[in-house]
Structure 1
Amino acid sequence: MKHTYTIFSFLLLASCSAPQTSVPVDVLTKEMPKVPMPDAVAAQVPAGYKAEVFMQDLNWPTSIDFDMSGNAYVAEAGYVYGDPFAPARIFRISAEGSLSLYANGFIGPITDILWHQDKLFVSHRGKISAVGANGAVEDLVTGLPSYGDHFNNQMTVGPDGKIYFGQGVATNSGVVGLDNAYPYIWLLLWPDVHDIPAKDMKIARESFLTPQPNNVLARQGNLLSLGSNVTYAVTSIFNRNKNTSLLVRTRGFQPFGEHKRTVKGQTKASGTILRMNADGSGLEVYAWGLRNPFGVMWGPDGQLYVTDNAYDERGSRPIANAKDNIYQIRQDGWYGYPDYSSGIPVTDPQFQSDRGSRLKFLMAEHPPVEQPWLTRPENAASTKFDFSTNDNFGYKGQMFLAEFGPATPITGDPHPGTGYVVVRIDPATKEAQSFLSNSAPGPEGLEAVVTAGPRHPVEARFSPDGQTLYVVDIGVIHGDIAGAGPFPLPIPGTGVIWRITKAGATSAGPPANLSPLPTRLHSSVPNK
């Protein structure tokens, strides 16, 4: 981890000066999908509700929150799969609609922002920080294990006044493998990154023989569709690695190529719910054994709810047919990662993939496993959510859950009909119904690309008065490029914030159709 900034600097320099080589001709010449401007007509909501475009032209928005003065804050992630260099920044929108740059310089991705105690808390790669009134950024927690597939995620304030947040794992299912080099790349940049348990762990005898990434990818660097400059940088990293082994044996919860039988637990562990005091002190593990706890929110019933993204059918240990889960989190509970899915052992035949060998446990011993409160469809990619608090909006006490949708073919086979929506879930019956969906999806394979409606919702968030629902739509991330293999292709400027109110009601928030383009940007506040 200590070489992080050196490597990023190297990549950034390479992106400015490296030779323009090694990109397949068909990638250069393929016509990019034409993405229409967002249109509320294509955003389907139930009768009696109205959708509108609150903000557009955003680059990978991931979160919105509000202060007590009527200002809204919107975060652009900075990093998404396929675009590692976009700026991670936060805009402030006044109640009158004045748009300004509030803070920047974060390490992408920003996954969540939270207004609390007159500060804006920011969850960004490896850190929880706070932005003061003057725009100065203070790091409260650093060194979180967020340099793999997943990151530190949503924050919520508990009844005890502490801040709770999710921390994702580094790998798909506990084992560092070739999928972490391509398409996720991080194995090439940080070869020591791996999953870290919250408690001391005995590793089972199961190990995995994996091709050495140098020998597979150094000869195919032209397949990396991040662009020729980044390809040049990554290939240079390959060439500095002198490991010429054809195959490498690895066990779970350790760096690529290592196979120890015991691993020490840590507080800054993967797959956890962590909590801290508002000043960053007292960091501790609240629960563990999750894969990617992305949405984290205390409900009106006093329960801590968490969405957990399921295993993909990829890597050295592919797991098929795994469903997303929503859990009610119990302190010190263990939620099954890496050996259970929805409370069921992954050794059950339903999870066997044709892409891998027979599944066995990684852990030699297991604590009692917690069961999900609710399962969601495979590859729905359940993300962040909120609860209705106002009878005027309706459905008071019910959950409004954003679902990003499948990232096929990267994450496995296509799963049409799942995700790309906001669903309303009644906690009493656990019945889920669509609340925001796309009334004008694109053609097959491009449903969330060539459309003016919602593409990839990542957050549902109510205004402080509970009368308005804001939905953060990260934008278009196309998952397949002919000639370059399965690699994410994000299209900048396609992020949207949708706003939903009761028909006939007037939102107390800023005016609609805002844009952060330079001609609309009134002022900026640099970080101190």
Structure 2
Amino acid sequence: MSEPIVVAEGLQFPTSLAFDAAGRVYVAESGLPFGGAPPGGQVWRLDAADGADGADGAAQRSLVADGLAGPVTGLCRHGEQLYVSEGGAGRITRIDPDGSRTAVVEGMPGPGNYHTNMAVVGPDAKLYFSQGSMTNLGVIGLDSFELGWLRRVPHAHDIPGLDVVLTGADSATPDPREGASEAEVLTGGFVPFGTSTEAGQRIAAGLPCTAAVMRCELDGSGLELVAWGLRNAFGLGFLPDGRLLALDQGADDRGSRPVGGVPELLYEVQAGAWYGWPDFIGGVPVTDPSLKPQRGPQPGFLLANHDELPEPQRPLLALEPHTAATRFAVAPSNTRFAGQLVITLFGDEAPMTAPADSPRAGRHLVRVDPADWSVHRLWPGSPLHRPIDVGFSPVDGALYILDFGAFEMSADGVQAQAGSGRLWRWPDWDDPASA
């Protein structure tokens, strides 16, 4: 069995990869200025990324687009066009072969904890994409100061995708706003920071909304909600049989509504469904003792009208807490594990998202067999820093692995190394010795 080889390095915190019909790889850099990296997202085309040319298998890079609003959170190729998710601007931009750009989705909610995420074209030739939540669990809190990409209170509040009625549960936090007249401020769910709520208060569904999967035509027209209550479905994709899957990143032990021990969840996305956020996690209520946080009291419900909403969906698979599942790819038919999923686990961000003594989690790959949803570690002992995306070459089925780079959280904030991102190629990833 041969080891994976590096085909591109020196990448600035890349987040996404895509392929064209000829097997050329496109890589999007996030544009996050961690570790002194230059701001502004970029998309590169990598030629000869199979190691056939260039020293030590290094691919030749050509710049496709720059100046994108970071963080760039997704990259999709359909036909001759690229679709780039510019999370920092709440838009999805189409890049044509001549380099011209057209914003096809604009005005998504933000800024907030999470962003407009990756897009994928469905069997109905529509553009599906996810929009992350603005908060950890529905209420704006001071944890936003700890997020390396945000550091901002107040920020945008969440918008429900279905009509909701509030319980009136508010959270008290110190008021960090300049000129604040009170030491503490009350904030409720789905309202701006410093706004209290009342029991029975009804908030109408919005479109666009947060914590959702939406879709539109390829030109951006006809925006509609697919499903609501997915906290941050960073990874999205279709199976060969047409089912839409989403990797939903679990809520954290932080902020005004902390919750503990939340797994990463893989869902089948069904039109009109509710996935439980902000009151249920994988069908389990946030009031359940199994979800008791260490950094605050057990949260109560924000929503009073559960009986008016669809039954919260159960996941296909639950992965370990804080592993931060980001993307998946489906193994092609000419491989030993045809139809199985390879998932990237970015890893924990303690002490920001969990207590500092929490066990180290993620930073590796897993293979998942949908026949029984069993999970198998792939490439044990790999030198990956933060795997964030994965894909299979349409030409030879080789597995490509994108590494975000050296990035850790500490009590002093982000500790990162600019230019430490890499793209790996693994031709015989399905060799029995790799399983």
Please report the TM-score for the alignment, with normalisation by the length of structure 1. 0.75
Q: Which amino acid aligns with 2:238?
A: W
Residue equivalent to 1:403? 345
Q: What is the aligned counterpart of 2:257 among 308, 317, 328?
A: 317
For the residues of structure 2 that align with 1:461 and 1:400, how far apart are their CA atoms? 8
Please say if 1:301 is aligned against 2:209.
no
Task: Sort the Cα spacing of 1:491 and 1:84 in 2 relative to 1 into closer, same or farther, 3 A.
Answer: closer
User: Secondary structure at 1:254's aligned position in 2?
Assistant: coil
Structure 1: tracts of 5 or more residues without a match: 1-47, 215-240, 440-452, 506-528
Residue equivalent to 2:427? 501
The Cα shift of 1:426 comes to: 0.4
Task: Sort the Cα spacing of 1:136 and 1:345 in 2 relative to 1 into closer, same or farther, 3 A.
Answer: same
- Within 5 Å, give how 1:463-482 maps onto structure 2: 463-465=393-395, 467-481=397-411
Task: Sort the Cα spacing of 1:146 and 1:128 in 2 relative to 1 into closer, same or farther, 3 A.
Answer: same
Residue equivalent to 2:80? 118
User: Are the counterparts in 2 of residues 437 and 454 from structure 1 also a CA contact under 8 Å?
Assistant: no
Residue equivalent to 2:170? 207
User: Are the counterparts in 1 of residues 276 and 312 from structure 2 also a CA contact under 8 Å?
Assistant: yes
Corresponding residue pairs, total? 413
Q: Which amino acid aligns with 2:107?
A: G
User: Secondary structure at 2:390's aligned position in 1?
Assistant: strand
Report which of the two structures shows the higher radius of gyration computed on alpha carbons: 1
The Cα shift of 1:243 comes to: 1.9
Residue equivalent to 2:379? 436
Residue equivalent to 2:322? 379
Structure 2: tracts of 5 or more residues without a match: 54-58
For the residues of structure 2 that align with 1:49 and 1:174, how far apart are their CA atoms? 47
User: Are the counterparts in 1 of residues 28 and 72 from structure 2 also a CA contact under 8 Å?
Assistant: yes
- Within 5 Å, give how 1:83-94 maps onto structure 2: 86-94=39-47
User: Secondary structure at 2:152's aligned position in 1?
Assistant: helix
The Cα shift of 1:282 comes to: 1.1
For the residues of structure 1 that align with 2:7 and 2:420, how far apart are their CA atoms? 13
For the residues of structure 2 that align with 1:290 and 1:395, how far apart are their CA atoms? 28
- Within 5 Å, give how 1:65-104 maps onto structure 2: 65-79=18-32, 86-95=39-48, 97-104=59-66
Residue equivalent to 2:108? 144
For the residues of structure 1 that align with 2:244 and 2:151, how far apart are their CA atoms? 33
Return 430-439 or 54-63, whichever deviates more: 430-439
User: Are the counterparts in 2 of residues 146 and 168 from structure 1 also a CA contact under 8 Å?
Assistant: no
For the residues of structure 2 that align with 1:254 and 1:322, how far apart are their CA atoms? 24
User: Are the counterparts in 2 of residues 378 and 415 from structure 1 also a CA contact under 8 Å?
Assistant: no
User: Secondary structure at 1:188's aligned position in 2?
Assistant: coil
The Cα shift of 1:459 comes to: 0.8
User: Secondary structure at 1:180's aligned position in 2?
Assistant: helix
Whose strand proportion is higher, 1 or 2?
A: 2
- Within 5 Å, give how 1:223-234 maps onto structure 2: none
User: Secondary structure at 1:159's aligned position in 2?
Assistant: coil
- Within 5 Å, give how 1:250-329 maps onto structure 2: 250-260=187-197, 261-329=201-269
For the residues of structure 1 that align with 2:96 and 2:322, how far apart are their CA atoms? 38
The Cα shift of 1:66 comes to: 1.4
Q: What is the aligned counterpart of 1:64 among 17, 33, 41?
A: 17
The Cα shift of 1:437 comes to: 3.8
- Within 5 Å, give how 1:480-495 maps onto structure 2: 480-481=410-411, 484=412, 487-495=413-421
Whose helix proportion is higher, 1 or 2?
A: 1
1:463-511 superposed Cα distances (whole Å, 9 cap, x missing partner)? 1135111111101112115xx3xx2222111111111111899xxxxxx
User: Secondary structure at 2:251's aligned position in 1?
Assistant: coil
1:252-282 superposed Cα distances (whole Å, 9 cap, x missing partner)? 1111011243323211111101111111111
Residue equivalent to 2:134? 170
The Cα shift of 1:180 comes to: 1.2
The Cα shift of 1:462 comes to: 0.8
Task: Sort the Cα spacing of 1:371 and 1:459 in 2 relative to 1 into closer, same or farther, 3 A.
Answer: same
For the residues of structure 2 that align with 1:155 and 1:185, how far apart are their CA atoms? 21
| Larger relative contact order (Cα-Cα within 8 Å, sequence gap ≥ 6) | 1
Residue equivalent to 1:54? 7
Task: Sort the Cα spacing of 1:265 and 1:182 in 2 relative to 1 into closer, same or farther, 3 A.
Answer: same
For the residues of structure 2 that align with 1:208 and 1:460, how far apart are their CA atoms? 39
Please say if 1:363 is aligned against 2:289.
no
Task: Sort the Cα spacing of 1:129 and 1:201 in 2 relative to 1 into closer, same or farther, 3 A.
Answer: same
For the residues of structure 1 that align with 2:331 and 2:147, how far apart are their CA atoms? 38
User: Secondary structure at 1:410's aligned position in 2?
Assistant: coil
For the residues of structure 1 that align with 2:11 and 2:295, how far apart are their CA atoms? 37
Return 133-142 or 260-269, whichever deviates more: 260-269
Please say if 1:339 is aligned against 2:266.
no
Task: Sort the Cα spacing of 1:209 and 1:185 in 2 relative to 1 into closer, same or farther, 3 A.
Answer: farther
For the residues of structure 1 that align with 2:285 and 2:36, how far apart are their CA atoms? 35
User: Are the counterparts in 1 of residues 9 and 422 from structure 2 also a CA contact under 8 Å?
Assistant: yes
Residue equivalent to 1:219? none
The Cα shift of 1:210 comes to: 0.8
Task: Sort the Cα spacing of 1:188 and 1:479 in 2 relative to 1 into closer, same or farther, 3 A.
Answer: closer
Task: Sort the Cα spacing of 1:504 and 1:128 in 2 relative to 1 into closer, same or farther, 3 A.
Answer: closer
User: Secondary structure at 1:244's aligned position in 2?
Assistant: coil
